[in-house]
Structure 1
Amino acid sequence: MTTKEQLEKLFEPAFISSIGIPKLRELILTLAMQGKLTEQLPSDTPVETLLAEIEEERKALIKAKKIRRQKALPEITEEEIPFEVSKTWIWIRIGNIGNLFNGDSINASVRNNKYTNIKGTPYIATKDVGYGLDPIDYNNGVAIPDSDLSKFKTVPKNTVLICSEGGSAGKKCGLTDRAVCFGNKLFALDEYGGISAKFLLYTYLTPYFQKMFSERLTGIIGGVSIGRFSTILIALPPIEEQQRIVEKLDQLMAYCDQLEQDLANKSDLHERLIHSTEHHLLNAESAQEKITTWQFMERHFESLYQTESAVERLRGTLLQLAVTGQLIKTNKNNWLNSKVGDIITFEYGKGVPKMERLNTGVPVYGANGALPYFAKKALVDNKCIIIGRKGSAGALKFIKGPAYPSDVTFYVLPFSEMSLTYCYNLLLSLNLPKMAKGIKPGINRNEVYQLDITYPSSLVEQKRIVEKLDQLMEFCDQLEEKIKERTQVSGELTDSLVATVA
C-alpha cells in the first residue's frame, strides 16, 4: 500500500473524532514535509540551484547595504537531522534561507494617542495573530500613517509572522494578506530565491518544527532569540515541489475543516436531542408521557450519552427527578413543603491551631476536601455532610466519620426528619456553589436557609429514593468508564496509525 493509499485509509471513521482530526492534521503535515504526499519530478529545478540563487540574492542585498553580513551559522550535524527526506531535498538552517528580523514596539500611551483609529498601514501585535491557518486581525484599531512609516519595519503581502515570546511563542503564526507593520515579539522572514511563504507557514505548523522551537526557549516568560531561532532546521524541496505541497496541503486542510464542521453539526443535533429528552422527562404532563420518555432513555442510554459532559448533565437530571419524587412511585400526599432552615442546620467548622496540627489522627476537611494535616480529636464522631463555606463555596462531601470540619466549612449532622444521605442529595440539587459571593467566594447560611424545598416525610420512602438514585449514579459511573476507555483506545489507535504511516 502506498503512502497516499494509507492516507486515504486514515480519513475513514477511525480518525473521524474530536481526537482523531487534530492528530490527522499533524500526520498530514508530517507526511508533507517528508515529501510523501507529492511526487519528486525530474523536471523540477534542482535544490542546489535554489541554494545558489539564495546565496546570490543575499550577496546582492549585502552589497546594496539593504542587509548586514551575518555571522555564519553552524554546520548541520547528522545528530540534528530529525528524519530522512528525499534525495532531491536538503536540510538547511532557517537563518540561511532569508533575512530574519523582528518588528517594533510601541509605548501604550503613544499607541493610544497617536496611532489608534487612524488611516494607515495596519500594526500587528501578537494578540492579532492566530494559530497557523487562522486569519490575522487587521481591524485592531492600530495603524501607522504614511508620515511615520519610515520609523517602522514593514513587511509585504505573503509574509509569515511567528510569535517569539510568551505562552504563545512558536504556536501563533500567520501569513499576511497585505503590507503591515508589526510588533517586536513577532519574527518575520524575507525569503530568498522565491521560496514559498505558504510552504514556510506549513513548516512552522509541523510537530518537528514545534519541537525544535520549544528546545530553544529560554527565560521565565519563555522566548526564543533571533539567533537561536535562525538555527532551526527545515527540510527544503525544489521550488516547484513546494508549490505542489502547498496545493495538496490546502486541499487536505480544507477537508479536515469540513470534517470538523460535520462533527460539530452532529454534536449540536445530539445535544438538542438530549436536551429535548430530558426536558420532556422533567416536565411531562402525564404519567404515561414520563414513562414513555424514560423507556426511550433506557433503550438509548449509551448512544445518547457519549461524552463525559453529557453524563454529568444526566446526573443532574436524575438528581432533580429524585428530589421531586419522580424517580420512583411515591405517595405525594406524604411530601412536605418547607424552608431549608426549618429542618436543616448548618454548623460552623473550627480551625485547627498550627501547633496542634498532626501527621496522623482525625482527618481535617476544608472546603475542597481533606487537608494535609490531622487533628487530635474529632469534631464529628459519626457521619456528616461537609459544605464549603469559603473558597470552594457550596462544594459538598459526605463523610462517614470521624472528621474535623475546618473553619472554612459548615457541617450538617444527622437529624430526625430526614436521612443524611437524602439530605446530601437534596442539598446537591440546590446547586449551592451558585450562591457564592465575594472576591473570595463564600456562601451565607442564612440565605441558604430561605430556599424552598419539598421532601417525603417517610424515612422509608427517602431510603427507597436514595437506593434508586445510587443505582442510576452507578450506571452513570459505568458509562463514564466506557467513555474513558473508548477515548483511550481511540487515542492509542490514532497514535499507532500515525507512527505506522509517518
Structure 2
Amino acid sequence: MEQVLYKLPDGWEWHSVKKLSHNIQYGHTAKAESNGNAKFLRITDIQDGKIDWQGVPTVSLEEKEISKYALNDDDLIFARSGATAGKSILIKNAPKDAVFASYLIRIVPNKKDIIPEYLSYFFLTPAYWEVVGQNAAGAAQPNINGTKLSEFIVPVAPQGEQKRIVEKLDALLTRIDTAIEHLQESVTLADALFSSALNRVFNPSESSVNSVSDYALPEDWIWMKVKKLSKKIQYGHTAKAADKGSAQFLRITDIQDNNIDWLSVPYVELSEKEIEKYALTENDLVFARSGATAGKSILIKKPPQNAIFASYLIRIVPNTEMVQPEYLELFFRSPAYWDIVKANAAGAAQPNINGTKLSEFKVPTPKLEVQRVIVDEMTCLSDRVTDLKKELKNKLSFLESAKSSILDSAFKGEL
C-alpha cells in the first residue's frame, strides 16, 4: 500500500526518509556475550519505548567494527521483524561503545533538514503505522527493511515550526503518557486485588508454598490430589488444523485472556469415534502443557457441538460429587497453585506441565457447601474486578486515540 499524501500548509514539503538521512544501515550479526567489549542492543532490549542499558548484553568487536556500528545520540533505531516490526526509538545517552544487532535498522537524521525528535514523532503517527500494517498483512512474519523505510514520505515543516511542534508534542504526550501509566497501574492493582482474595481463600495462613510440603488448612478442610478430584485426565488429539472439518479444534493459541472465541477456532477432520474420545463438554478444565502459557487453564462453558482439543492441551473432567468445577478453576488461578508451577518450571529451557505432574497437585478442599459459598463470593468479586478493568481499559483506549489524533494533527500543520 502506498502512502496517502495530503495538502500541506504553506512552507511545508514532502521528503523521503532517504533524503532526510545521512545513513540507513543494518546492524551487526553476532551472538550476544556476557563479557564483550561493546554493549550489543537487540530488538528484545527495547521495551515500552525504553532501553535498560544495564540489562543489555555485550559482544566482542574490533575497533573498526565498533566504529562502524556505534550508536550515537539522535540515531533512530527500528525493529526489522516480528511482532514489533516498524517500532522505533530515538537514541539518547547511549553508553560508550554501544552497537546494534542485525535485526535492527539505524537511521542517522540529517539535522540540517530535520530535527531528530520531529522525525521520531512521525514514526508514531497513524499514517506511518497504517502503511506498516498494510505491508505486513498476510505475511507469516511481519517485517520492514531499509529500502521500504527509506521510501516513506515525511511531511516536513520549516525548522522553526518543527521545533514548535516537537515542544508541543513533548508537553501534550508526556501528560497523556503519565495518565496512561497511572491507569495501567490501576489495572495491575485490580488484578492484584483478585489474586490477593484468592490467596486468602486457598492459603489463609499465608504459609510459604512449595511442591513438597502442605500448609495449615482451616478445620474440616483436607488436602486432595487432583487425580482424586477428577474422573479423567487426558491429552488432546494430534493433527494439523484446517479451515474445514467435522470438528472444531481448540489449540493453546485459541485461549486468550481466559476466553475462547469459538468463531475463530479452526477445524479438523475426525471419525465419530475420535470425536467422541476428545469431545469437550460443559465444565471440562483445559490446561496449556508447554510454552509461555504452560499451566494456564480455562473452564469450558457452552462448547459448540463436536469441539475437541489439541495435543498441547490437557483436559481434566472434574468429579462433581467431590468438587465444584468452578472451585477447582479458582484454585488453578490462585497464587498457591502458581507458586508450585513456577517451582517445577525453574531451570527448564521450555516451561511445561504434564498430566502426571498435574494429577499430583494437592488442592485445599472443603465440603461442597463451603465450596459453593466460596465460588459465589469469588464470582461476585471477579465480576466487580472485570467491570472495573473494563472501565479502566475504555479510558486507556480513549487516551491512546487522543494520542493518535494529536500526532495526526501535528503532521498536518493543525496543532
Cα distance in 2 between the residues matched to 1:198 and 1:452: 55
* TM alignment of 1:231-310, pairs within 5 A: 231-259=151-179, 267=186, 271=189, 307=190, 310=193
SS at match of 1:100: strand
Q: 1:315 to 1:377 in 2, by over 3 A?
A: same
User: Which residue among 195, 203, 217 is the counterpart of 2:122?
Assistant: 203
Name the structure 2 match of 1:425: 327
Match of 2:193, as an amino acid?
Answer: A
Cα distance in 2 between the residues matched to 1:440 and 1:468: 33
Match of 1:483, as an amino acid?
Answer: L
Name the structure 2 match of 1:160: 76
1:22-80 C-alpha deviation (Å, 9 max, x unpaired): xxxxxxxxxxxxxxxxxxxxxxxxxxxxxxxxxxxxxxxxxxxxxxxxxxxxxxxxx84
Kindly indicate whether the alpha-carbon contact (under 8 Å) linking 1:136 and 1:174 is maintained by their aligned counterparts in 2: no
Match of 1:240, as an amino acid?
Answer: G
User: Which residue among 10, 20, 26 is the counterpart of 1:87?
Assistant: 10
1:116-174 C-alpha deviation (Å, 9 max, x unpaired): 633xxx5654338636863584974347554x259735575433333334433320322
Name the structure 2 match of 1:340: 224
User: Which residue among 142, 145, 159 is the counterpart of 1:225?
Assistant: 145
Cα distance in 1 between the residues matched to 2:251 and 2:136: 39
SS at match of 1:212: helix
Length-normalised TM-score, structure 2 = 0.59
Cα distance in 2 between the residues matched to 1:399 and 1:128: 37
1:392-440 C-alpha deviation (Å, 9 max, x unpaired): 769585899xx9999955545465xx5x43x863685476676565764
* TM alignment of 1:313-324, pairs within 5 A: 313-314=196-197, 317=200
State the superposition RMSD in angstroms: 5.5
Name the structure 1 match of 2:112: 193
Count of aligned positions: 348
SS at match of 2:46: coil
Identical columns (%): 11
Kindly indicate whether the alpha-carbon contact (under 8 Å) linking 1:337 and 1:455 is maintained by their aligned counterparts in 2: yes
Cα distance in 2 between the residues matched to 1:240 and 1:353: 64
Kindly indicate whether the alpha-carbon contact (under 8 Å) linking 2:79 and 2:85 is maintained by their aligned counterparts in 1: yes
Query: Quick check: 1:141 aligned with 2:141?
Result: no
Cα distance in 1 between the residues matched to 2:229 and 2:49: 57
User: Which residue among 106, 122, 127 is the counterpart of 2:43?
Assistant: 127
Name the structure 2 match of 1:324: none
SS at match of 1:340: strand
Kindly indicate whether the alpha-carbon contact (under 8 Å) linking 1:390 and 1:442 is maintained by their aligned counterparts in 2: no
Match of 2:169, as an amino acid?
Answer: L
Alpha-carbon shift at residue 211 of structure 1 (Å): 2.6
Higher strand share: 2
Q: 1:216 to 1:231 in 2, by over 3 A?
A: farther
Length-normalised TM-score, structure 1 = 0.50
SS at match of 1:169: coil
Alpha-carbon shift at residue 237 of structure 1 (Å): 0.8
Cα distance in 2 between the residues matched to 1:174 and 1:217: 23
Higher helix share: 1
Q: 1:485 to 1:101 in 2, by over 3 A?
A: closer
Alpha-carbon shift at residue 92 of structure 1 (Å): 1.9
Kindly indicate whether the alpha-carbon contact (under 8 Å) linking 1:320 and 1:429 is maintained by their aligned counterparts in 2: no
Long gaps (5+) in structure 1: 1-78, 272-306, 322-333, 457-461
Q: 1:186 to 1:143 in 2, by over 3 A?
A: farther
Kindly indicate whether the alpha-carbon contact (under 8 Å) linking 2:186 and 2:392 is maintained by their aligned counterparts in 1: no
Q: 1:131 to 1:189 in 2, by over 3 A?
A: farther
Cα distance in 2 between the residues matched to 1:426 and 1:223: 43
Cα distance in 1 between the residues matched to 2:136 and 2:195: 39
**Structure whose alpha-carbon radius of gyration is higher:** 1
Alpha-carbon shift at residue 229 of structure 1 (Å): 1.9
Alpha-carbon shift at residue 232 of structure 1 (Å): 0.7
Q: 1:443 to 1:248 in 2, by over 3 A?
A: same
* TM alignment of 1:419-498, pairs within 5 A: 420-421=323-324, 425=327, 428-429=330-331, 440-444=352-356, 448=360, 451=362, 455-456=366-367, 462-463=368-369, 465-476=370-381, 478-480=383-385, 482-483=387-388, 486-487=391-392, 490=395
Match of 1:425, as an amino acid?
Answer: Y
SS at match of 2:50: coil
Greater Cα offset, 132-141 or 465-474: 132-141
SS at match of 1:425: helix
Cα distance in 1 between the residues matched to 2:177 and 2:106: 27
Q: 1:404 to 1:317 in 2, by over 3 A?
A: farther
Q: 1:169 to 1:318 in 2, by over 3 A?
A: same
Alpha-carbon shift at residue 447 of structure 1 (Å): 7.2
Cα distance in 1 between the residues matched to 2:226 and 2:404: 63
Match of 2:25, as an amino acid?
Answer: N
